[in-house]
Chain A
Amino acid sequence: MDGPENPGAGKNQGSLRPRWGMAIDLKRCVGCQSCTLACKLENGTPPGTFWMRVLEKEEGVFPLARKVFLPVRCNHCNNPPCVTVCPTGASYTREQDNLVLINQDKCIGCRACVVACPYQVRFLAGDSKGYYGEELTPYERTAYQNWQPRTAQKCTFCVHRLDQGLGPACVQTCPTRALIFGDLNDPESEISQVMRERFRWQPRAELGTDPSLYYLP
């Protein structure tokens, strides 16, 4: 099994290290923003910061107008421009599974990575302000301890959950199973199988970033 409940239980027993990736089925996404909220709940990000969000756009004209949705988040690129431009090494690729992460203790808050990310999915954490006025809620007080103000922030694919053998919160929450998460290096994983069967494209592939995120149109 390689579903969202147990992404690390693939059959990749070879020498290849896991490369976590995500395929997003655009036919299944209904723009409910459940993933956006699940991410906020799991990671306790402050107002204005969305590690995961679903963009929307109106297409066509009445009576044939419709809304289209595009979930966006960190692509955990194989060749990440945010890592290249970081002057301190705060943005780095974790060797064991190719996740792009941030060491907040090293981040100087220069914003170079925020600007360099072609996917606009990095944020600079502001000073701690809650959703409900000046005073933080008990949940916010606890959650905000996980990140330092004025450092870069972004989706980690819920690395803390991955390290426990769980899948990202957004994947677990998605009611239509539009988000498929797994090991791209494991040919038996669900994501690899879907990618073999379906046409897919990587966002801004022309930049050579080799994102670990694929859209299935």
Chain B
Amino acid sequence: MTADFSMQPRSQQEWSWLVAMDLFLGGLGGALFLFFVFLKLPAAVGLLSLGLVTAGGLVLLAELGHPARAWRAICRPFSSWISRGVIFVLLFLVTGSLTVGPLLASFSWLPWAPDTLGGKTLGMIAGVSALLVTLYPGFVLAASPSIPSWNTPLLPVLFFSNSVMGATGILLLFSSIGFWSQSIAELNALATLLLIANFVLLLVYLLVLGNSGISAKESVRRLREGSLGWVFRWGVVLVGTIVPLLLVVLLPSAAALAGACVLAGGVLFRYCVLEAGVYVPFALT
């Protein structure tokens, strides 16, 4: 009993792999849809982004203690980021589907083609909701005052940048089957830029945590040492950042492998952030 009742710092145990997958898939799908809308990519990209966000929602449902009551999650949009997120996801799935629909052969009869006023309006709403879907996962974590490594404005920025990088990973992975209609050199350049920017943001995040309170420092220590440190160093940094960076710069023909590495790194990054979420320990003063 003494061990359980000690005052030592402990990390949260509630959110793990499933939540990491939900955060990853939601952000990834939203960011991919942004590429789809703004770069006018093929309908398959839009469909995939809708599928990813749907999959993220299903994973979240599986994580809930009472999935049948999930409809209640839209009740508190003025205070809860989970509530807002569910509303963003629903709005995105509706407007995104309506935007992608006319591009598909079997639904080409729909009157709101992308070049019509209705189509443009829908596309804009879907784009904004996709942006919100990409942004909200970081805010869900940042809203917890109990965990200093989450409760920082840097985390939503980092999650957003990682999601955009992950979307580039999808485009790299499927570039050979026509997901990217422009030159592969442009995609590699974009991926290089995002990989470097994301890595710099990650370093800034760790640097800020390392210079914060005892609990944030403990989070950084857990990311550097032990089994979680192993996952972070080899999974997030090496496989998720350095290897794809080398591939897109030195071996452009291995774009699919680089994309797969970016995606693996994205999942592991979220897992590491969750596992390294250390509560502020109890103090006697």
Contact = CB atoms under 8 A, between A and B. Distances in A.
Given A109-B65, A151-B65, A84 B143 contact: yes
Nearest to B8: A57
Nearest to B7: A57
Interface string A40-59: 00000000000001111100
B285 interface: yes
B183 interface: no
A108 B10 CA distance: 25
B143 to A, nearest CB: 6
B219 to A, nearest CB: 14
Interface residues of B, number: 40
Contact of B69 (A106, A120, A124, A217): A106
A87 B73 contact: yes
Contacts of B283: 203
B146 A115 contact: yes
B79 interface: yes
Contacts of B145: 81, 116, 118, 207, 209
B6 A56 contact: yes
B140 to A, nearest CB: 8
A108 B70 contact: yes
Interface string A106-147: 111111101111111000100000000000000000000000
Interface in A161-203: 201, 203
Contacts of B172: none
B15 interface: yes
B7 A70 contact: yes
Given A53-B5, A68-B284, A112-B80, A106 B144 contact: no
Given A70-B7, A110-B64, A116-B144, A88 B69 contact: yes
Interface residues of A, number: 44
A108 B65 contact: yes
Given A115-B147, A117-B146, A118-B280, A88 B76 contact: yes
A203 B282 contact: yes
A204 B146 CA distance: 9
B279 interface: yes
Contacts of A56: 2, 5-7
Given A72-B282, A111-B15, A120 B146 contact: yes
B86 interface: yes
A151 B69 CA distance: 11
B80 A86 contact: yes
B186 interface: no
A107 B69 CA distance: 8
16 contacts: A55-B5, A68-B284, A70-B282, A81-B144, A85-B79, A85-B81, A87-B82, A107-B69, A108-B67, A109-B66, A110-B64, A110-B82, A111-B65, A118-B280, A120-B146, A203-B283
Closest 5 CB pairs of A and B: A109-B65, A150-B65, A88-B72, A118-B146, A87-B82
